Chains A and B, each alone.
Chain A
């Protein structure tokens, strides 16, 4: 079964705008990761946030984690057309499997 659930399923914005995607999960986790997938290709790791961290930054990416609400958000600032992709969250349930949600499909219009 899926562990993470991304929201929204699809998001369309203009270049330069910010994009926010959310991920909710069901059980306690060790860490949460965000990945990006260009159409039909392999996933690429973006950022990992551990359960004892609340916020993490990487370039134009900002990830937050709220373990009390079992949720995480990914913010992409100043989006570009090249950011068009599907974004997935993955939860690591204490060093076992890595479960993905259904993803958010982001379209950035030039």
Chain B
């Protein structure tokens, strides 16, 4: 158990809908990363937060947004969903911003039908 909790584990929704994925980082970790992994692909970096502030942005679509709350949990919002958004979405947390290992949650498997 990494200590990072992602909910829900599975999500099936229709095209055009909006969903929210939630991540609770490991206790004491200030940095949260979000990644998208399509079938048998590598991890695409989406966005990183540190202590509530956005610190880095990757290939995140405009239809996607995220935030980190004062209690350090984070949410990834995906809107106007398309079939191609079906993927595993991972959250990871680390103590510092970089230069340290990250701990991954078990992911949320999103299926858009």
Contacts and interface: CB of A to CB of B under 8 A. Distances in A.
Query: A and B, one complex?
Result: yes
Contacts of A44: 2, 104
5 contacts: A2-B42, A35-B104, A90-B102, A96-B55, A100-B45
Contact of A43 (B41, B57, B59, B104): B104
A85 interface: no
A110 B98 CA distance: 38
Interface in B5-54: 33, 35, 41-45, 48
B72 interface: no
Contacts of A92: 98-99
Contact of A99 (B2, B45, B104): B45
Interface of B: 2, 4, 33, 35, 41-45, 48, 55-59, 88, 90, 92, 96-107, 109
Contacts, number: 74
Contacts of A43: 43, 90, 92, 102, 104
B9 to A, nearest CB: 11
Contacts of B58: 1, 97, 99
Contacts of B99: 30-31, 50, 92, 95
A61 B42 CA distance: 22
B33 A97 contact: yes
Contact of B107 (A41, A48, A94): A41
Nearest to B104: A42
A97 B42 contact: no
